[in-house]
A and B are shown apart, each in its own frame.
Chain A
Amino acid sequence: MRLTWCSRRLLLGGFQFSCRTLSQAARAEPAPSAGQAGPWHLYTAVCLQRLPVVAPPLSEMERRFTALLRQLEFERSLKSSHEIRHEMDIATAEALRASEGDDPDLAEAASLQTAADFEDACAEELAGFEPAPTVTEADRAGDQRSLQRRLSSRLVLVVQQRLGAGTSWMLPQGRHQDGATLRQVGRGAAGDTPRQTAEQTLQAMVGPNVNAQFLGNAPWGFYKYKYPKPLQQESGAIGGKVFFYKAVLRGGPVEPVADRVADHRWLTAAELGGQLRSGYRRAVHRLLIDHD
């Protein structure tokens, strides 16, 4: 059977890999495809995301339901010690007023800190703490280069990359260089994996100090485009195939390298449309979570 023949041949060839895929056919090596006009250049692009820092505010529905839940919990609960203390304070005050200040025990009991006093003191202490605002300066200014904008959304890095003579807005992209021969591909000098190319691309575009965690070895999206005619003749390839890799920004400064990148923006999924070309934007949008 073709399956076992292939697996035996590949194992004997010293091929170290673990193929676990969804479809059976994927395990077998495909026959060399015929009828390709010319090669395609391979590119890897990196979708670097800053995850949300702050939870989004509750929607109308959520606020109403939260209020209902709070009410239900209150109705089904027992009184807390604080409430009991408060009721006793009220009773003491009443008794004091009724006895018109004759009873010294009552007077002493009333002079201690009441539950209401304790509550006020707590509220005052809380008021002394100023939390950081969820709507920041960058939000008000609309500074799209800042990472402090839109703290409750995910932001994606989009760069104005220098391509030849001109520039283009895209995700940071780099050319994947295959190994010269059909040698074993892996972590070695023979050739980089696409994920390694993606990591190198990111470091080349935004500096080596960025701390990004890549999500797996497999690409998340695909985009294909044809070169203009003069470039096709010059490079000998029809066009480029871009494979998108996702990464999460963990920290570290993002310093765009000037000779590769003219400008950069951090955009939400909804704002990508304004910056990217429609076909490219659709490919990128397909691999993003766009609730926010």
Chain B
Amino acid sequence: MALSLGLSTVQRLAANVLDMSLSRSLCALTISTRKDISTSSAAAIAVSHPLCAEPLKKKKRIDPAVVRAREERRRRKLEKAIRRLEKSSRQLKPLAEMELPREVRAELSERRRPARPLTTEEANERFDLMKEWTRHRREQHVADVAVLRRIQESRAKALRELRAESFQLYCAAIEEDPDLVPWAHSGPTLTPPIDGYDAPDGDYVDTTRRWE
């Protein structure tokens, strides 16, 4: 419910609305105010319908420099927060499994082994053995690569021959096999499985650490 007074309505609107020209507002209102102008002030008091709202607040024009300053401040704050988080992620987190247990660290002096210096012969032996091993592993690797290349060439030849024989069969042969991947195989063990072995019951204590 709004109380509208005749002349004061004109004055209020003219003062608030800066964009609208005074003449326009006066024009719109003079029609109405003509009715409202009266010598007795009581007749000018009129009550409008219940509006259940108030007129929208006029949007104040903000200085663009101020707006820019605010944006700049907000951006700088965010960047600072991002830099702080990134610094934290760059730091290496300690692995509990790689650190010595507390009890061991306390008794470190008792736990150290007496250092036994190596003789020259021993040192030379070790050095020679490591060199031999490197050579041995390299030979193994070269042999592996040769085997794999041989197998690949065999397959390439088979595909060439199949293509020469029948293009349709070749196209069917080079299609992907969806059952091949993922491939799972339990590798060779040290001893073969025992038929009908009854494994004894044991305890299983799950010590996985959980962080919620």
| Interface residue A14 (Cβ < 8 Å from any Cβ of B) | no
Q: How far is the CB of B116 from chain A (nearest CB, A)?
A: 7
Q: How far is the CB of A164 from chain B (nearest CB, A)?
A: 23
A215 to B155, CA, bound (A): 12
Residue of B nearest to A183 (CB): B168
**CB contact list, B163-182 vs A, under 8 A:** 163-169, 171-177, 179-180
- Complex partner residue of B155 from A17, A42, A220, CB under 8 angstroms: A220
Is A287 in contact with B110, judged by CB distance below 8 angstroms?
Answer: no
**CB contact list, A177-218 vs B, under 8 A:** 178, 182, 184-186, 193-195, 213-218
Is B189 in contact with A54, judged by CB distance below 8 angstroms?
Answer: yes
Q: Quick one: given A78-B104, A194-B169, A217-B175, are A26 and B126 in contact (CB under 8 Å)?
A: no
Q: How far is the CB of A132 from chain B (nearest CB, A)?
A: 5
Q: Quick one: given A20-B174, A217-B175, A217-B177, are A55 and B190 in contact (CB under 8 Å)?
A: yes
Q: Quick one: given A51-B185, A218-B159, are A185 and B172 in contact (CB under 8 Å)?
A: yes
Is A193 in contact with B167, judged by CB distance below 8 angstroms?
Answer: no
A276 to B159, CA, bound (A): 24
| Interface residue B108 (Cβ < 8 Å from any Cβ of A) | yes
The prevalent SS among residues of A at the interface is loop
- Complex partner residue of B154 from A15, A185, A215, A286, CB under 8 angstroms: A286
Q: How many residues of B contact A (CB 8 A)?
A: 52
Residues of B within 8 A of A182 (CB): 168
Is B176 in contact with A18, judged by CB distance below 8 angstroms?
Answer: yes
- Complex partner residue of A75 from B113, B189, B192, CB under 8 angstroms: B113
Is A64 in contact with B151, judged by CB distance below 8 angstroms?
Answer: no
| Interface residue B71 (Cβ < 8 Å from any Cβ of A) | no
A134 to B132, CA, bound (A): 29
Binding site for A on B (CB under 8 A): 100, 104, 107-108, 110-113, 116, 126, 129-130, 132-133, 136, 143, 147, 150-151, 153-159, 161-169, 171-177, 179-180, 185, 188-194
- 6 A–B contact pairs at CB < 8 A? A51-B185, A65-B129, A132-B191, A217-B176, A241-B161, A289-B151
Q: How far is the CB of A172 from chain B (nearest CB, A)?
A: 17
- Complex partner residue of A61 from B132, B158, B164, B190, CB under 8 angstroms: B132
Residue of B nearest to A186 (CB): B172
Is B154 in contact with A193, judged by CB distance below 8 angstroms?
Answer: no
Residue of B nearest to A15 (CB): B171
| Interface residue A53 (Cβ < 8 Å from any Cβ of B) | yes
Is B158 in contact with A40, judged by CB distance below 8 angstroms?
Answer: no
**CB contact list, A98-136 vs B, under 8 A:** 131-134, 136
| Interface residue A68 (Cβ < 8 Å from any Cβ of B) | yes
| Interface residue A152 (Cβ < 8 Å from any Cβ of B) | yes
Q: Quick one: given A132-B191, A243-B158, are A78 and B151 in contact (CB under 8 Å)?
A: no
Is B147 in contact with A290, judged by CB distance below 8 angstroms?
Answer: yes
Residues of B within 8 A of A61 (CB): 132-133, 136
A134 to B191, CA, bound (A): 6
Is B158 in contact with A217, judged by CB distance below 8 angstroms?
Answer: no
Interface readout for A128-152 with B: 1 if CB under 8 Å, 0 if not? 0001111010000000000000011
| Interface residue A257 (Cβ < 8 Å from any Cβ of B) | no
Is A78 in contact with B113, judged by CB distance below 8 angstroms?
Answer: yes
A283 to B143, CA, bound (A): 19
Residues of A within 8 A of B189 (CB): 53-55
- Complex partner residue of A19 from B100, B104, B171, CB under 8 angstroms: B171
A53 to B164, CA, bound (A): 39
Is B172 in contact with A193, judged by CB distance below 8 angstroms?
Answer: yes
A68 to B128, CA, bound (A): 11
Residues of A within 8 A of B154 (CB): 220-222, 283, 286-287
